Chain A
Amino acid sequence: MQITSNGKPAEVTDNITVTDLLKELKVATPEYVSVELNGEILDREQFATIRVSDGDTVEFLYFMGGGEL
């Protein structure tokens, strides 16, 4: 199915969980990533159970590094 990931289109497995999505998109250091699904920040304890649907918008935020405040 197709989703938008950090502003770019991405082809991913249907009905994938957030945990598996992080692996499939090869997101580095997933433990330092927060996930926003359709504008809502997800509770990290739920990554393994929340599933992504066709047309969803996902934003990954690396909250630990970079230079951002």
Chain B
Amino acid sequence: MDIETMALHGGYAPDPQTGSTATPIHQTAAYAYASAEEIADVFAGRAPGYVYTRLGNPTSMAFERRLSELEGGVGCLSCSSGMAAIASVVMGLTRAGDHIVAGSGIFGGTVSLFSKTLSRFGVTTTFADSGDPESFRSAVRPETKLIFVEAITNPQMAVPDLPVIADIAHQAGIPLVADSTLTTPILVRPGEWGADIVVHSVSKFINGHGNSIGGAIVDTGKFDWAKGPFEDIASLAKLAGRLAFLAHLRRLVYRDLGCCPSPFNSFMHLTGIEGLALRMEAHCRNAMALAEYLAAHPKVAWVNYPGLASNPYHAVASKLFGGRYGGVLTVGLGDRDRAMKLVTGTSLAQNLANIGDSRTLVIHPASTIFQEFPPEERDAQGVPDDLVRISAGVESTRDIIADFESALDQI
């Protein structure tokens, strides 16, 4: 099955009770059984069944099957948000005294989770250079339990060399976790390049319509949990085989943290994922055209898009993503004032904190998403004051360019 077909049919079946083509929205908190014995059997694991939506829900599981198939994984756990997915993964792999190596220039929310929230619980993080694989190797310590990268970093637009970093992780006996939000399985399956766990902010390109928040965790099936340094997960390996990590999360960490998605949101994400291949094609085409237009514009100081041949990550992106470079680009306007004028000046492009909507989006990250970090830290994260982030939508290329042309005319 080609990936466009899999987006519609992967793990799909019409509802067995009614034949409904669209997955029913099981907007329920719990599930009733006819007898005390039957529900006891389900709780004890002797019989299949649902008990409580925080643990599992049929609509959410339909979405999980679809995404797992698309990623070529062994299973998927869907979450209330991308941050819930990342938090569940990392809290499932670490305990007090453990260490994370993460790439630089990654999403501010993830930086905050690692450096401000998890540090409260004795888990420390070193940020290596996303563009320099060897910097990951030198950052690994005996207590490091995972390496975390973004397939394309947001908003630095770095493209880490996945297979090289995967090797470094595996030589240290630890898993590589890849956040593939900006790429989605359409551009790359990180598992094929050695990643052990893939996380997504489903809120972005997968949902595709900016209507619901969600997250997901996919186990690519590559990591041998029975042999890794995680004793509690290894003890589940006998029971669950390659699903040991997902079982560890669903039965313990994810369950206890309460990271479950809304069944209604899962329905929206299912609807969105079905058109993902078509949308990514349009996002990439429009981002490339806009990047080329802006790179030639006299009022634009610089353009950062891996699709441009001059971009430092063009070669590695070409190797990993099959000739497409994603829907997100960043541009520099020279100073903060001009950057904010560009953001205010567009009318088609919506000024908001999101990426991957079908509509083109624009934002000034330094004064918004990264405003809690002092200027020196923002600079270190690759977010200068003149940076504008654009998420190219699926409108016509002509209309998108005309919108930015008009906004630039006013600066």
A: which residues have CB within 8 A of B?
6, 27-29, 31-32, 34, 41, 43-45, 59-69
Residue among A31, A60, A66, A69 with max Cβ neighbours from chain B (10 Å)? A66
The contact of A66 among B44, B238, B241, B252, by CB within 8 Å, is: B44
Whether B42 is near chain A, meaning CB under 8 Å from some CB there, is yes
Whether B373 is near chain A, meaning CB under 8 Å from some CB there, is no
**Complexed CA–CA distance, A27 and B238 (Å):** 20
Q: Which residues of B contact A28 (CB under 8 A)?
A: 48
Whether B55 is near chain A, meaning CB under 8 Å from some CB there, is yes
Assign chain B's interface to a size class. Answer: 20 to 34
Q: Which residues of A contact B298 (CB under 8 A)?
A: none
Whether B250 is near chain A, meaning CB under 8 Å from some CB there, is yes
**Complexed CA–CA distance, A18 and B75 (Å):** 21
A64 touches B49 (CB 8 A): no
Whether B152 is near chain A, meaning CB under 8 Å from some CB there, is no
Whether B411 is near chain A, meaning CB under 8 Å from some CB there, is no
26 interchain pairs, CB-CB under 8 A: A6-B46, A6-B47, A27-B48, A28-B48, A29-B48, A31-B75, A32-B48, A34-B239, A41-B238, A45-B241, A62-B45, A63-B45, A63-B240, A64-B240, A64-B247, A64-B250, A65-B45, A65-B49, A66-B43, A66-B44, A66-B45, A66-B55, A67-B42, A67-B43, A68-B43, A68-B251
Q: Is the interface of A mostly helix, strand, loop or mixed?
A: loop
Q: Which residues of A contact B247 (CB under 8 A)?
A: 63-64
Q: Which residues of B contact A29 (CB under 8 A)?
A: 48
Q: B352 to chain A: closest CB distance in Å?
A: 37
Whether B401 is near chain A, meaning CB under 8 Å from some CB there, is no
Q: B56 to chain A: closest CB distance in Å?
A: 5
B: which residues have CB within 8 A of A?
42-52, 55-56, 75, 236, 238-243, 246-247, 250-252
Q: Which residues of A contact B50 (CB under 8 A)?
A: 65
Q: B238 to chain A: closest CB distance in Å?
A: 5
A60 touches B46 (CB 8 A): yes
**Complexed CA–CA distance, A68 and B75 (Å):** 20
The A/B interface has a contact count, at CB < 8 Å, of 70
Q: A42 to chain B: closest CB distance in Å?
A: 9
B252 touches A63 (CB 8 A): no
Q: Which residues of B contact A34 (CB under 8 A)?
A: 238-241
Q: Which residues of A contact B241 (CB under 8 A)?
A: 34, 43-45
Q: Which residues of A contact B56 (CB under 8 A)?
A: 64-65
For residue A59, which residue of chain B has the nearest CB? B46
**Complexed CA–CA distance, A9 and B241 (Å):** 27
Q: Which residues of B contact A31 (CB under 8 A)?
A: 75, 243
A61 touches B46 (CB 8 A): yes
Q: Which residues of A contact B238 (CB under 8 A)?
A: 34, 41
**Complexed CA–CA distance, A66 and B241 (Å):** 18
Residue among B48, B51, B55, B242 with max Cβ neighbours from chain A (10 Å)? B48
For residue A34, which residue of chain B has the nearest CB? B239
Q: A67 to chain B: closest CB distance in Å?
A: 5
**Complexed CA–CA distance, A19 and B292 (Å):** 55
Q: Which residues of B contact A41 (CB under 8 A)?
A: 238-239
For residue A43, which residue of chain B has the nearest CB? B241
Q: Which residues of B contact A32 (CB under 8 A)?
A: 48, 243
For residue A45, which residue of chain B has the nearest CB? B241
Residue among B45, B51, B55, B56 with max Cβ neighbours from chain A (10 Å)? B45
Q: B328 to chain A: closest CB distance in Å?
A: 35
